[in-house]
């Protein structure tokens, strides 16, 4: 019984200290342009090194107003969008993935 209790306590400590990936991560980014029909901006992840077809571009959710300037380079903390955060987009262009911005800083 004592061993089970020790294992349980160990697992609790390990799970409490592990960083939650849903909190997001920092990237270097560039504001590209406003997406008409979506009320969001296209952002390019400048740290992206793979060669996928989207070129590291995503639609933003929660970019502070003072950073909505084409060509502006920023440090952004982003995370995946939750289901209730998705936006309706009527634009007739590529549907980029949505990322939620939790913090933003000028470079």
What is the per-residue pLDDT across 59-105, written as a single tens digit (0 to 9) for each? 999 999 999 999 999 999 999 999 898 888 887 777 889 999 999 99
The domain ranges of the chain are: 24-106
Please name the residue that has the structure tokens 């440090």. Answer: 75
- According to the model, what pLDDT value does residue 87 have? 83
Q: Are 76 and 104 in contact (CB under 8 A)?
A: yes
pLDDT at position 52 over 50: yes
**75 CB contacts (<8 Å, ≥6 apart)?**
26, 27, 28, 29, 104, 105, 106, 107
CA dihedral 67, 70, 75, 81 (to 10 degrees): 80
pLDDT band with cut points at 50, 70 and 90 for residue 53: low
Most confidently modeled range among 17-21, 45-49, 60-64: 60-64
Of residues 17 and 22, which shows the higher confidence score? 22
Its pTM stands at 0.74
Please name the residue that has the structure tokens 């903390």: 77
Residue identified by tokens 């571009």 is 57
For residue 9, the tally of other CB atoms under 10 A from its CB is 10
Indicate if the pLDDT at residue 6 is higher than 90.
Answer: no
């Amino acid at each position: 019984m004592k061993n089970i209790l020790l294992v349980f306590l160990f697992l609790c400590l390990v799970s409490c200290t592990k960083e939650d990936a849903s909190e997001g991560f920092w990237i270097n980014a560039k504001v590209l342009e406003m997406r008409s029909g979506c009320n969001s901006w296209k952002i390019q992840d400048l740290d992206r090194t793979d060669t996928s077809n989207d070129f590291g571009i995503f639609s933003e959710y929660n970019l502070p107003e003072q950073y909505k300037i084409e060509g502006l380079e920023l440090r952004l903390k982003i995370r995946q969008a939750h289901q209730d955060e998705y936006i309706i987009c009527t634009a007739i262009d590529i549907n980029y993935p949505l990322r939620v911005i939790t913090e933003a800083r000028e470079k």
